[in-house]
Amino acid sequence: MKRYWMIMLSLLVLAGLVVAACAPPTPAPAPAEKPAEAKPLKIVVIGKSVHPYWSNVEKGVRAAAKDLGLSDDQVIFWVPQKEDVAAQIQTMETYIAQGVTGIAIAPSDPNALEATMKKAAEAGIFVTTLDTPPVEGSVSLVYIGTDNYSAGVIAGEAMKQLLPEGGKVGIGRGSDTALNALQRTDGFLKAIEGTNIIALEPVNDKEDAATALQLANSVISANPDLAGAFGVYAYNGPAWATAVKEAGKAGEIKIVCFDATTDIINFIKEGVIHATVAQREFDMGYKSVQIIKLMAEKGVEAALAEMGAKNGVIDTGVDVITAANLKDYEAQLDAKGIPHEWTTEGWEPPEDAFEFKME
C-alpha cells in the first residue's frame, strides 16, 4: 500500500511538472501601487554666448513655450558667457542626469560635443541641434538653422558688388571649430574666387566682443589699404564698424556681416555697415522647442515630417539687409509678429544706398 501511494505521488509530481512546462509564462504580478504618472516634458536649449543674438533665440524659445502651454520650468534656455565647449558639455551632463525630454544644442565644437550628445541619446533624450550644425553622422535628430555655406556665398557676393575693383578684406569670426563659422568663411571665399579681392587670414575672438574689437583694430592698423571687412558672427559686424569709425574710415571700408541685432541695424542706418545677412534666430529657438515636444508626443519620424525637415535639416532661411531695403525688412518682421528694439521711424535711406542683387 505504501508503495502504491509512493507511485501515485510521483505520477502527480510528474504531471504537475508537465503542466507547468506547457503553461504560458505567468504574467508579472501587477504593481501594488499605481504606475508613476508620465514625466512632465522638460526641454533644454543650449546656445553659445551671452549676446543679443542669443536673446532673440531665447525670445523664440519663450514664445514657443507660451504657445504650446509649457511652463517656464519646463523650458530651459542656457548660454555660456563666451565660446566655452567645456561648459556646454558640463551643462549637457547636468540635464542628462536629470533625464530631461530633449536637448537642443548649438555645438561650439561639434567633434568635442558628439560623445555627450550620444550619451544623451542613449539615455532616451531627444537630441537636436540649432544655429550651428553637428558632425556628419551625428546622433542629432535634426539641425534647425541657416544653410551657412550658402549664406557665406551670399555675403561674398555682396562684397564682390561693393568692391568691384577688388582689394584686401579682413575676416573676423568667433570660432575656429563651430561649423557655422567655418562654412560661412568657406562660402565667402568661394564667392570671391577669381576676383581681385584678397582675403586675409581670419582672426578668431572666441565669441568675446572685446577681443573682436581689439582684433579689428589691429587688422585695420596693420593694413592701411584695407578695402573691406567681413564679420562672420553677430558681434563681428559692430566690432568692424566701431574700429572703422575710430580709424576715420567710415563708409570707405566696406563692411558685410551677419545678423540683424539692434547695433547692426543702427550701423546700417549710419552707413557704416553696408550689408548684413540676417538669420532667423527667433524661428530657430521656436522650432527647437516645438519639434522636441512633437517628438515626445508623436515620435521622431512624425515630428520631422510635420515640421517639414528635409534630410535632417530645417533651413530657417536668411534675409539680406542693406539701407535700401531696411524698411521692408522691418515691415516683414512686424507682419510675422517678431519683436525688435530698433525702428526706422524718422529715418530715410540715402539715395545712393547700396542695393544687393543676388546674381
Contact between 173 and ligand BGC per CB under 6 A: no
Measured torsion, CA atoms of residues 340, 342, 347, 351, in degrees rounded to the nearest 10: -70
Nearer to ligand BGC, 47 or 167 (CB): 47
Choose which of 58, 147, 157, 259 interacts with ligand BGC (CB under 6 A): 259
Contact between 49 and ligand BGC per CB under 6 A: yes
Question: What is the closest distance, in whole angstroms, from the C-beta atom of residue 59 to ligand BGC in the complex?
Answer: 15
Q: Which of residues 99-158 bind ligand BGC (CB under 6 A)?
A: 106, 131-132
Residues 271-290 as x/- pattern, contact with ligand BGC by CB under 6 A: --------x-----------
Question: What is the closest distance, in whole angstroms, from the C-beta atom of residue 69 to ligand BGC in the complex?
Answer: 29
Nearest Cα to Cα of residue 172 among 205, 208, 146, 132? 205
Region binding ligand BGC by CB under 6 A among candidate stretches 46-54, 238-246, 293-301, 309-317: 46-54
How far apart, in whole angstroms, are the C-alpha atoms of residue 230 and residue 255?
A: 6
Nearest Cα to Cα of residue 238 among 213, 221, 215? 213
Question: What is the closest distance, in whole angstroms, from the C-beta atom of residue 87 to ligand BGC in the complex?
Answer: 14
Q: Is 60 helix (H, G, I), strand (E, B) or coil?
A: helix
Let me know how long the chain is.
359
Contact between 174 and ligand BGC per CB under 6 A: yes
Region binding ligand BGC by CB under 6 A among candidate stretches 47-55, 92-100, 133-141, 311-319: 47-55
| Amino acid (1-letter code) at residue 279 | Q
Nearest Cα to Cα of residue 38 among 326, 236, 296, 253? 296
Nearer to ligand BGC, 230 or 294 (CB): 230
| Residues 74 and 41: beta-carbon distance below 8 Å | yes
* Helix/strand/coil (H/E/C) assignment for every residue in 294-316: HHHHHCHHHHHHHCCCECCEEEC
Contact between 180 and ligand BGC per CB under 6 A: yes
Region binding ligand BGC by CB under 6 A among candidate stretches 48-56, 188-196, 307-315, 322-330: 48-56
How far apart, in whole angstroms, are the C-alpha atoms of residue 274 and residue 229?
A: 10
Contact between 188 and ligand BGC per CB under 6 A: no
Nearest Cα to Cα of residue 258 among 59, 52, 89? 52
Q: Which of residues 226-245 bind ligand BGC (CB under 6 A)?
A: 233-235
Please give the grid coordinates belonging to residue 11: 505520477
Closest residue to ligand BGC, based on beta-carbon distance: 234
How far apart, in whole angstroms, are the C-alpha atoms of residue 76 and residue 324?
A: 38
Q: Give me the residues that bind ligand BGC (CB under 6 A), please.
A: 48-49, 51, 53, 106, 131-132, 174, 180, 207, 233-235, 258-259, 279
